[in-house]
Structure 1
Amino acid sequence: MNTLFRTMEARHSVKQYQSDVKISKEELEELIRAATTAPSAWNLQHWRFLVIEDEKKKEELLPIAYNQKQIVEASHVIAVLGDLEANKEADRVYQEAVDTKVMSKEVKETLVGQINGAYQREGSFARDAAFLNASLAAMQFMLAAKAAGYDTCPIGGFNQKAFVENFRVPERFAPIMLITVGKAAKEAYPTTRKPLKEVAIYNSF
């Protein structure tokens, strides 16, 4: 088994953290930088990471996250946000490709038009894209943290409306999940996985 596979096997959701362990800003930013290498549709990079490190802000977050103690015990809480207006990034993203001669101006204009067209559709396209692509980066952050010797836990159970209001999240961004990160004070509960024959379907149902 290679190193990546071992990291994936070792990662579990930790609920109790050593409250005296603090991850340095340099280390944390290295983990976030690793997360941003995740793939994204049209390379729009739909993710934003709201880093909550201040103890008072963590206390403010605690009731919003239904009083899960890991919020205040972990070194940091990372709120992963998804960009609902990621198409606004298209022009800049593709202009960089034009400037470095990776892409022609004509191809850029075609792609930007296609992206804007997709985001103008009725329905849940923008929200679905925000959740899908930001979640890829969230998983990558958790794997990077484990590889660096830290533990994490993704949290979907929190009051999203209250979070947006209290942390002044712009309307452009949807809260996807919270991730606690730090050093485990207690090992995660062991979990099992369904056998491959139950989850892998070939060609068609």
Structure 2
Amino acid sequence: MTNAVIECILSRTAAKYYDPAATLSDDQIRELVRIGTTAPTSFHLQNWRFIAVRTREAKAKLLPIAWNQPAITDAAVTFIVVGQLADSRVVPVRLAPVVEAGIMPEKMVSEWEIPARGLYQDYPQRKRDEAVRTATFGAAAMIYVARSWGLGSTPMIGFDDHAVHREFGLTEDEVPVMLLAVGAERPGNWPQKPRRPVADVLQLV
């Protein structure tokens, strides 16, 4: 069985070649992030942030600390996908719109905040793990949104994380998880590469 969503997923590939003359408007960038941030987050923390590197000056700043990868300058935009360390104290703020929308009763807020505190408060590694998980969920959603718009994308981990942290003003509780280039492709990109057989990666119990 197939549909447009499945076709989008199956046809996605990491783009190598972009049309450097093609651009995305700020409204398109906002919409990409808006849809991408409907991805799952633990306790509705939404502990992510996206820095859209799209001007010539910003690209020039990112390029040398991102291994001079051509996608930085050729793609319309490269997002610095930032995960924020999980912090249970923000749960009431994050859930307030959910309560206001009538989705969750107010008395349930503490029922989420208390276990979130127990899960993260005294566990630095869990806080960081959640930052990486959340940012990755968001980036993955944006990859498929971009594909559905006919755009290419390239997730990249080749960068100096300390320099990105410094040059783009990340806070102490933020982790630059990956770079994500998005833009119009030009000819020469490969199709999706074959994957390992399901039998090699699936255990049915």
Fold shared by both chains (TM-score > 0.5): yes
CA distance in 1, matches of 2:160, 2:32: 26
Amino acid across the alignment from 2:88: N
SS of alignment partner, residue 178 of structure 2:
strand
Deviations 1:65-94 (A, max 9, x none): 111111011100111110114423201122
RMSD (Å) for aligned C-alpha atoms: 1.5
Corresponding residue of 2:121: 120
Between 1:105-114 and 1:27-36, the stretch displaced more is 105-114
Offset of 1:60 from its aligned partner? Answer: 1.1
Residue 178 of structure 2 corresponds to 177
Q: Is the 8 A contact 1:45 1:86 kept in 2?
A: no
1:103 is paired with a residue whose SS is coil
> What displacement does 1:169 show?
0.9
Distance change (3 Å), C-alpha of 1:113 and 1:196: same
SS in 2 for 1:80: strand
Is the Cα contact below 8 Å between 1:14 and 1:186 reproduced in 2?
Answer: no
Partner residue, 1:31: 32
Match among 192, 195, 200 for residue 193 of structure 1: 195
Deviations 1:99-143 (A, max 9, x none): 444434432123212212222123410011111121111000000
1:90-169, aligned counterparts within 5 Å?
90-169=91-170
Is residue 61 from structure 1 mapped to residue 80 from structure 2 by the alignment? no
Measured in 2, the distance between the counterparts of 1:120 and 1:31 equals: 32
Match of 1:17 in 2: 18
Q: How many Å separate the matches in 1 of 2:142 and 2:180?
A: 9
After TM superposition, the runs of 4+ consecutive aligned structure 1 residues lying more than 6 A away are: none
Greater CA drift, 92-101 or 16-25: 92-101
| Structure 2 Cα separation of the partners of residues 109 and 40 of structure 1 | 17
| Matches of 2:105 and 2:23, distance apart in 1 | 46
Cα pair 2:45 2:86 within 8 Å, conserved:
no
How far apart are 1:201 and its partner, in Å?
1.1
C-alpha distance in 2 between matches for 1:186 and 1:159? 30
Give 2:82's aligned amino acid.
Answer: L
**AA paired with 1:10?**
S
Q: In structure 1, how many angstroms separate the alpha carbons of the residues matched to 2:106 and 2:154?
A: 43
Does residue 42 of the first structure (1) align with residue 43 of the second (2)? yes
Structure 2 partner of 1:72: 73
Instruction: Calculate percent identity across the aligned residue pairs.
Output: 28
Using the alignment, how far apart are the partners of 1:35 and 1:100 within structure 2? 21
Give 1:21 deviation, angstroms.
0.1
Specify whether residues 87 and 186 from structure 1 end up closer, same or farther in structure 2 by C-alpha distance, changes over 3 A only: farther
Q: Secondary structure at the match of 2:99?
A: helix
* Structure 1 unmatched runs, 5+: none
Assess, with a 3 A threshold, how the Cα gap between structure 1 residues 187 and 86 changes in structure 2: closer, same or farther: farther
Note the C-alpha offset of 1:17: 0.8
